[in-house]
Amino acid sequence: MKAFEHKPSRLNEFYCSENCFHQAGREERKCVTCARVFTTKKASRNIRCSRKCQFVDQSNGTIKLHLNGRTGYRSDLGSVHYFKSALEADFARLMEFWHIPFEYESKTFETAKGAYTPDFYLPEAKLYVELKGVENDGKSYSKMMRKNLSSHSELGVDIIVLTQKELIQFFKNATLWHTIPNLEQRNYKKTAHLVKKHENQAASTNHTATANSID
């Protein structure tokens, strides 16, 4: 601590400089991604040192992606569907990779808890798929939906629920994580250019999409 000349100001009432004033409310933390020590505000919730580390964890599934964080058309998927999340877009890429026909939000059911629209329908398998971007009990959720649908005489309807973590693990177990092009959860930052808010915008940039590139 050094002596300083007092001037009538709230800032220098207790601090010799603006730098000391700002440093007083900061602390050192260890980044949970790269283990680097960084400085941040004490009131901050930051546990990562940079946006780069945030993107790394978004890509590997450590950070749960917000449901509406990636709404828009995908230029590498033909710009047909307006997906509500990166999770939905990546599932569509899986179906495209396997040449499996799918319908997106094609039917709405009236359930005991109101209207319900599954994310995907696979007509060849007669299967509905619901994707959850947060950690939920998939089995309980699926059981609840089956019960609601069967109570409305929707015979032959089957629904499976996949969480973000389960889908990423499936990609890795099936050795598809580095095979399917443009997986947004594999590289959240580098796939941002594929997301378009307007259909005509997506169509105009379709020829520049790196649909055949592997990150």
- DSSP-derived pairing of the beta strands 127-132 and 159-163: parallel
Q: With 70 as the cut, is the pLDDT of residue 134 above it?
A: no
Condensed to tens digits (0 to 9), the pLDDT of residues 18-29 reads 677 666 778 889
In this predicted model, which residue has the larger pLDDT, 70 or 102?
A: 102
Q: Kindly report the CA angle at 151 between 145 and 154, in degrees rounded to 5?
A: 80
Report pLDDT for 59. 54
Domains by residue range for the chain, with CATH = 11-48 (no CATH), 73-208 (3.40.960.10)
Q: With 80 as the cut, is the pLDDT of residue 174 above it?
A: yes
The mean per-residue pLDDT over the stretch 18-41 comes to 82
Closest CA to 86 of 74, 95, 98: 74
**What band does 201 get if pLDDT is binned at 50, 70 and 90?**
low
Condensed to tens digits (0 to 9), the pLDDT of residues 147-156 reads 555 554 454 5
The mean per-residue pLDDT over the stretch 46-75 comes to 71
The mean per-residue pLDDT over the stretch 126-142 comes to 66
Q: How far apart (Å, rounded) are the C-alpha atoms in residues 208 and 149? A: 42
Q: What percent of the chain has pLDDT over 70?
A: 62
